[in-house]
């Protein structure tokens, strides 16, 4: 990897570290690894584009607060890279006037999974509340206590009968460009790879790409071998090919869906992981 001068910004959040990767291109990199996710926001001069929300609603609050503080703008668009809840749980934190852009596959999968997702959250909420309330009494670290209190508020909110997740409402079926007066971002439609309809955000000139969950800092064979496998991609071949394709492009900074900022080496590792555990097996 080239010697990159990535500026970590002075921003107070218990959930993420904030970086300015290039003028107006910001990445919020989760303070912990899985299951927390990464996000970004882009100041295009006249538009403020948010790329993904974060699992924790209070992390999304921090993301919106950071975007206001550093760009002096309100969000113009929110993009959901894919339908997994850890990336769109924060949708409901955005005003209804802010369009939420996703692929049609993301919207349809969101809809088919919505009831199951809500049932799952409501199902664990009571147990989690009990566990957190027990643990909070033993905790001494102020940030941990704050985080636990936020979790309590979140689970209480989930248990309210009116609790809803906001769906994407600006639906696209192809790649597109948001052309701002100062910068532009390419939103590339990958199709089925990690999810049935993945989107990534690419800054060609600045050599930066936000890969969503097409890229993880760490992959783990136990995802495949466990009795309840996670991260089974609908199209491992396209996922692998996309990783190779973007590895070969003139890009310096890769933002994964989970984990720290990545170099080309991690894309190679991810590609080999899908080759080994998902592609070879089925051929
Ligand atoms: Zn995902």
At 240, list the tokens: 């692998």
- Residue 222 contacts residue 266 (beta carbons within 8 Å): no
* pTM of the predicted model as reported, rounded to 2 decimal places: 0.93
47 φ, ψ to 5°? -120, 145
The whole-angstrom separation of Cα 29 and Cα 200 is 16
The count of other CB atoms within 10 Å of the CB of residue 126 is 12
Q: How far is the CA of 82 from the centre of ligand 1 (A)?
A: 7
User: Does residue 271 sit in helix, strand or coil?
Assistant: helix
The count of other CB atoms within 10 Å of the CB of residue 163 is 14
Q: How far is the CA of 141 from the centre of ligand 1 (A)?
A: 30
184 φ, ψ to 5°? -135, 150
14-106+166-282 to CATH, choices 3.40.309.10, 3.30.260.10, 1.10.760.10, 3.60.15.10: 3.60.15.10
Rg for the chain, CA atoms, rounded: 19
Q: How far is the CA of 200 from the centre of ligand 1 (A)?
A: 12
User: Does residue 201 sit in helix, strand or coil?
Assistant: strand
The pLDDT profile of the chain, 283 residues, written as one tens digit per residue, is 455 678 899 999 999 999 999 999 999 999 875 568 999 999 999 999 999 999 888 999 999 999 999 999 999 999 999 999 889 999 999 999 999 999 999 999 999 998 888 999 999 999 999 999 999 999 999 988 998 999 999 999 999 998 889 999 999 999 999 999 999 999 999 999 999 999 999 999 999 999 999 999 999 888 887 776 677 899 999 999 999 999 999 999 999 999 999 999 999 999 999 999 999 865 5
For the chain, report the end-to-end CA distance as a whole number of angstroms. Answer: 33
Q: How far is the CA of 140 from the centre of ligand 1 (A)?
A: 33
Q: How far is the CA of 17 from the centre of ligand 1 (A)?
A: 20
Q: How far is the CA of 142 from the centre of ligand 1 (A)?
A: 30
Q: How far is the CA of 45 from the centre of ligand 1 (A)?
A: 30
């Amino acid at each position: 990897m080239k010697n990159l001068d990535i500026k970590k910004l002075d921003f107070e959040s218990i959930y993420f570290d904030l970086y300015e990767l290039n003028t107006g291109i910001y990445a919020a990199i989760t303070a912990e690894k899985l299951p927390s996710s990464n996000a970004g926001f882009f100041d295009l001069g006249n538009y403020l584009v948010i790329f993904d929300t974060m699992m924790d609603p209070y992390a999304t609050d921090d993301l919106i607060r950071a975007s206001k503080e550093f760009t002096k703008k309100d969000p113009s668009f929110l993009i959901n890279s894919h339908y997994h809840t850890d990336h769109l749980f924060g949708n409901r934190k955005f005003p209804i006037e802010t369009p939420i852009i996703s692929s049609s596959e993301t919207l349809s999968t969101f809809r088919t999974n919505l009831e199951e997702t809500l049932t799952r959250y409501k199902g664990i909420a009571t147990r989690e509340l009990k566990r957190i309330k027990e643990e909070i009494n033993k905790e001494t670290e102020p940030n941990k206590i704050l985080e636990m209190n936020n979790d309590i508020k979140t689970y209480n909110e989930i248990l309210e009968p009116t609790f809803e997740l906001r769906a994407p409402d600006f639906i696209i079926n192809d790649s597109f460009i948001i052309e701002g007066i100062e910068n532009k971002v390419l939103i590339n439609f990958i199709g089925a790879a990690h999810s049935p309809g993945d989107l990534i955000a690419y800054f060609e000139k600045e050599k930066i790409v936000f890969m969503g969950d097409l890229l993880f800092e760490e992959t783990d064979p136990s995802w495949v071998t466990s009795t309840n496998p996670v991260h089974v991609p609908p199209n491992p071949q396209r996922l692998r090919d996309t990783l190779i394709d973007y590895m070969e492009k003139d890009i310096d900074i890769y933002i994964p869906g989970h984990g720290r900022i990545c170099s080309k080496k991690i894309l190679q590792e991810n590609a080999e992981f899908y080759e080994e555990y998902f592609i070879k097996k089925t051929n």
